[in-house]
């Protein structure tokens, strides 16, 4: 099942989302339609496990300007186009949804179908798909008749559309290969295929996340553990929850994920930060969000609280030197010293990726950059 708030895959019958912490009302949840950043971006994404998408983030805020996307999805009313950093329109708003460019192409939605445009705005791969991810390793996931497969940059199907699902949609990692492998679902079980479509790690897991730092979090018999790229269980499946590794540490919940405490293990499985937190995100840029007594702050890799627990939410990780936090019901962004550098005015906010963050304001979505510039007009 998928959280209706953040879109992450979560265990069936969950009563709360271990990624964003949202309470669930019961029953099986479907992922929200991809009004998306496959970010996040979606989406997007940070996050008990969601901050795992921060694998791809830039470690230094000093380099953020060089990493900002050259073309930025720009919303005008309910239509999307692309602009440059000066907000000059390069591709006129005409699409229902628009993703970031990757490998020279961007997936866009037009009349309910997805296709790909180039940087000049030409539709180089027709909008005939029910869903689409960004390109990774010259491949993009596409949805055809309810199943997922992969096309190349010419639009040719290279991995048949036979899979029920792909890597959980989150913050730019949806459908993306990591270490030459991507997570797919077949007959209700999760496994890993390579860029040729070969199932190199059998689909036997109840859930699975992408590889990070050579290991992937998987569930077996209802418990989480970690496998290596050969499929060997190198950290036993004994946890109620386990997020992928980031900065050499993984957030885990020993015992049951319901009501259990959160701690962090290293790649050998040693608990290096005790499981004393009510909830937690993943490490990025040396910091991780943790919840204590209903409030969130940030700890360092020694477990020291370096940014006080005063926030209503801080599950998404640092990226480009900034992290989204919720204060008095609204989201803004703090720096690594805890200074609020982008005011808390948004209804929701995700982590930065390529110098852009997906935010919600007055029931509409759009992008901001690390200076708080808003790339939309209503």
Whether the upstream peptide bond of residue 74 has omega within 30° of 0, thus cis, is no
Q: What does pTM read for this prediction?
A: 0.81
* CA gap 210, 226 in Å, rounded: 11
pLDDT tens digits for 323-338? 999 999 999 999 999 9
The DSSP secondary structure of 134-185, one letter per residue, reads: --BTTBEEEEETTEEEEE-TTS-EEEEEEESEES---TT-TT--BTTEEEEE
Name the nearest CA neighbour of 215 among 224, 206, 204: 224
pLDDT tens digits for 225-236? 999 999 999 999
Task: Calculate mean pLDDT across residues 21-37.
Answer: 38
Give the residue, 356 or 258, on which the prediction is more confident: 356
Model confidence at 173, pLDDT cuts 50, 70, 90, reads: low
Question: What is the pLDDT, as a whole number, of residue 256?
Answer: 86
Question: What is the pLDDT, as a whole number, of residue 168?
Answer: 52
Question: What is the pLDDT, as a whole number, of residue 315?
Answer: 86
* CA gap 232, 220 in Å, rounded: 12
Question: What is the pLDDT, as a whole number, of residue 67?
Answer: 57
pLDDT tens digits for 300-311? 999 999 999 999
Question: What is the pLDDT, as a whole number, of residue 275?
Answer: 97
Q: Where does the chain have alpha helices with state H?
A: 64-67
pLDDT at 246 over 60: yes
Task: Calculate mean pLDDT across residues 36-51.
Answer: 35
| Domains of the chain and any CATH numbers | 50-377 (2.140.10.30)
pLDDT tens digits for 89-102? 999 999 999 999 99
pLDDT at 9 over 70: no
pLDDT at 373 over 80: yes
């Amino acid at each position: 099942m998928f959280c209706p708030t953040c879109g992450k895959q979560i265990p069936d019958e969950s009563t709360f989302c271990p990624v964003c912490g949202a309470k669930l009302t019961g029953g099986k949840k479907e992922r929200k339609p991809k009004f998306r950043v496959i970010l996040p971006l979606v989406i997007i994404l940070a996050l008990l496990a969601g901050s795992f998408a921060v694998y791809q983030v830039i470690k230094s805020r000093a380099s953020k300007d060089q990493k900002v996307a050259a073309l930025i999805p720009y919303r005008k009313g309910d239509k999307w186009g692309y602009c440059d950093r000066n907000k000059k329109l390069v591709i006129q708003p005409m699409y229902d949804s628009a993703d970031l460019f990757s490998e020279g192409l961007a997936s866009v939605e037009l009349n309910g179908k997805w296709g790909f445009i180039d940087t000049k705005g030409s539709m180089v791969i027709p909008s005939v798909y029910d869903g689409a991810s960004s390109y990774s390793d010259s491949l993009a996931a596409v949805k055809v008749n309810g199943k997922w497969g992969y096309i190349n940059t010419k639009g040719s199907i290279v991995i048949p559309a036979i899979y029920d699902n792909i890597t959980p949609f989150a913050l730019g990692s949806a459908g993306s290969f990591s270490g030459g492998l991507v997570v797919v679902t077949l007959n209700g079980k999760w496994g890993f295929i390579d860029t040729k479509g070969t199932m190199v790690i059998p689909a036997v897991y109840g859930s699975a996340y992408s590889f990070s730092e050579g290991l992937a979090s998987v569930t077996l018999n209802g418990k989480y553990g970690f496998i290596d790229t050969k499929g060997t269980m190198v950290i036993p499946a004994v946890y109620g929850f386990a997020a992928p590794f980031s900065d050499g540490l993984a957030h885990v919940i020993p015992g049951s994920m319901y009501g259990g405490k959160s701690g962090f293990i290293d790649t050998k499985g040693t608990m290096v930060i005790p499981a004393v937190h009510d909830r937690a995100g993943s490490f990025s840029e040396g910091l991780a969000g943790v919840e204590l007594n209903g409030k969130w702050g940030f700890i360092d890799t020694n477990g020291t609280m370096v940014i006080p627990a005063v926030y209503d939410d801080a599950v998404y990780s640092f990226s480009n030197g900034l992290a989204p936090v919720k204060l008095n019901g609204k989201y803004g962004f703090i720096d690594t010293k805890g200074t609020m550098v982008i005011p808390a005015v948004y209804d929701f906010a995700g982590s930065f990726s390529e110098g852009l963050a997906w935010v919600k304001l007055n029931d509409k979505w759009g992008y901001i950059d690390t200076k708080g510039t808003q790339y939309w007009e209503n």
